[in-house]
Chains A and B, each alone.
Chain A
Amino acid sequence: MTPAGSPGAGAGIGAMDRRDMAWHVDRAARLLVFVGGISAIVFIVGIFVFITKEGLAFVLGPLKLGEFLTSIAWRPTSNNPTYGALALIVGTASVTGFAMLLSVPLSLGAALFIAEFASGKTRETLKVLVEMLAAIPSVVWGFVGMSIMNPLIIQTFDIPVGLNVLNAGLILGLMAAPIMTTIAEDALKAVPDTYREAAEALGATRWEVIVKVVIPASRNGLLAAVLLGVGRGFGETMAVLMASGHAINLPTSVFDSVRALTATIAAELGDTVTGGNHYGSLFTLGILLFVVTFAINLTADIVVRGIRRK
């Protein structure tokens, strides 16, 4: 090293080019955090590989795709087992659909209120409450559906069973709301204030600014929010298991009990023989769930990326 005090007098800057301890430590650290980074990819691939591994024997063997998609007879434990998942698919779709009917307008409305109207303390308080909503564990939601909503629905509508599409849909709607509200609010916040100011300078009211400027400009983000909400509802397990009635059934009204794909796995996996057909069929449902949620998330990501590129 150049002696202190006369820095310029040494062999010159080029002689300093040695890979010292600090350089090697940096390299090692970079490698280490890189491993952390790609672990996310490893895990997502791992999930797919392992559920496919367990489900493959069933998919290649007993699975009849026509029956799987069109029959409502899910009788994996009968002597002559059939694996019709239509009722489960419809069950998931009806609960998720009903939940979205409720949740999408509420969440977007709440996001608009928090982002565009509320300010200061109100806004902070609302955001905290929405976060609290997101924090309630799904098993507690399921319990609420069973023990609070169920008697309430029986009483209000004078029906024998309160565990149905209505119950699970209401619960699921509330569960999916925080993620939609948060992401929609982010999207609204991402619209530059200069847009709002420009429109207000032209004499538009806050409401007109929202309808004509803010919403169109954040359209993609709002769409992504809805998509992620759908993904959330679609994949929810415990609440749907406990609040939907868990009956294999094609619903004709919101008062019918249904059964969801996720709930079927949760309810039945414990009773299966590892490697058996029933076991494999549940993993096949898992593959279906994985593929659909992956597609939803991918679409949401592409949609969001669309805004950034603009």
Chain B
Amino acid sequence: MFAATRLNRRSYRNQSVARAVFCLMTVALVIPVLLIVGTLVVKGGPAISWEFLFTPPRDNMTAGGILPALVGTVWLVVVALLASVPLGIAAALYLSEYAPDNLLTRTINLAIINLAGVPSIVHALFGVGAFVLFFRFGASILAASLTLAIMTLPVVIVATRESLQAVPQAFREACLNMGATRWQTIRKVVLPNSVSGILTGVILEVSRTAGETAPIMFTGATAFVAFLPESVFDQTMAMSYHLYYTATQATDVPEELTFGVALVLIGMVLLMNAVSIGFRVYLRGLKKW
């Protein structure tokens, strides 16, 4: 009896030690985020001004603002979304609503995992080989955006599929039992009840797309253009590439300016992410069934 108590005490001590260790490990992962964001704010904050955001760079990138990069990133993201959102939603609808459990479906799932897992630089090589050269788009917003679209396609598919599958099966059955076709069921019951979840995924994709660098380096991003892009066949500056360029290639760029670029980029990305997360939490509270 006494021995058992001692044993218990020891295993309880084990437990609290484990708890503390795991907690520390978690904190070790989380602290860097706060440190990084904090440092960027402190060092880059002073650079941020209206002038910084709304004028082009001057004097070999050593002064001036980031307007063309901001506008370029918006172009890249919008064109990429135009391609990947419809395709991703279609793929998710197929997988969630139509696909039988067979080899083809498993292959599609494997392909999606791989699209997400292939290194971004390999996507870049594909973009060069396919869009820039084979389809003759040249280095352009179109080629860069399509490369980004394919790379981030899994984000839309996975998020959409999840929100489709959150719609109770009973709704579908009730609808089909009244003689609605599958498509009518999707349109009248499934999509209206998952649209907000899909939107969450799309916002997440915006955040991913805006931050990618490698896929656009050789497919459409350029270090400096004096004008804003006018069509999808123009090359463009982009925030992520601008950060890479000012940090590694350009010379004599004031530190404050580079930190400013990094701060704006991470601010954009984290803001989109926060919106997506907030939206998701809000939706969870709002569940209708």
Q: A residues bordering B, Cβ < 8 Å? A: 22-23, 25-26, 29-30, 32-41, 43-44, 46-47, 50-51, 53-54, 105-107, 109-110, 112-114, 117-118, 124, 126, 128-133, 135-140, 142-144, 146-148, 174, 177, 181, 205-208, 210, 228, 231-232, 234-238, 242, 262, 265-266, 269-270, 274, 282-283, 286, 289-290, 293-294, 296-298, 300-301
Contacts and interface: CB of A to CB of B under 8 A. Distances in A.
B32 A37 contact: no
B38 to A, nearest CB: 11
Contact of A293 (B87, B119, B277): B119
Q: For chain B, give the interface size range.
A: 35 or more
Contacts, number: 284
Given A33-B93, A33-B98, A53-B129, 14 more contacts: A22-B184, A36-B87, A41-B107, A46-B130, A47-B118, A50-B134, A135-B270, A136-B36, A146-B247, A289-B122, A290-B119, A293-B118, A293-B119, A293-B122
Interface stretch (B52-60, B165-173, B205-213, B227-235): B205-213
A137 B213 contact: yes
Contact of A147 (B15, B124, B125, B259): B259
B156 to A, nearest CB: 10
Q: Top 4 closest A-B pairs, CB basis? A: A36-B90, A137-B211, A235-B119, A109-B25
18 contacts: A23-B181, A37-B99, A37-B105, A37-B108, A50-B126, A53-B129, A106-B25, A109-B24, A136-B270, A137-B213, A146-B248, A148-B39, A208-B14, A235-B120, A235-B121, A262-B120, A289-B118, A290-B119
A254 B104 CA distance: 45
Interface of B: 8, 11-12, 14-15, 18-19, 21-26, 28-30, 32-33, 36, 39-40, 86-95, 97-99, 104-105, 107-115, 117-126, 128-130, 133-134, 150, 153-154, 157, 181-184, 186, 207-208, 210-214, 217-218, 240-241, 243-244, 247-248, 255, 258-259, 262, 265-266, 269-270, 273-274, 277, 281
Given A126-B26, A270-B217, A235 B118 contact: yes
Nearest to B273: A135
Nearest to B187: A29
Given A30-B182, A242-B247, A293-B117, A139 B211 contact: yes
A142 B273 contact: no
Q: B-side binding surface: helix, strand, loop or mixed? A: helix
A177 B30 CA distance: 10
Contacts of A135: 207-208, 211, 269-270, 273
Contact of B91 (A36, A147, A238): A36
Contacts of A235: 117-122
Contacts of A282: 125
A32 B24 CA distance: 50
Contacts of B122: 47, 51, 235, 286, 289-290, 293
B167 to A, nearest CB: 16
B87 to A, nearest CB: 5
Contacts of B11: 205, 207-208
A270 B241 CA distance: 13
B36 A148 contact: yes
Contacts of A300: 113
Contacts of A106: 25, 28-29
A228 B184 CA distance: 38
Nearest to B105: A37
B22 A117 contact: yes
Nearest to A203: B8
Contacts of A136: 33, 36, 211, 266, 269-270
Interface hub of B26, B91, B126, B265 (most chain A Cβ within 10 A) = B26
Contacts of B14: 205, 207-208
Contacts of B208: 135
Nearest to B119: A235
Contacts of A133: 29-30, 32-33
Interface hub of A39, A112, A266, A294 (most chain B Cβ within 10 A) = A39
Nearest to B154: A40
B277 A51 contact: no
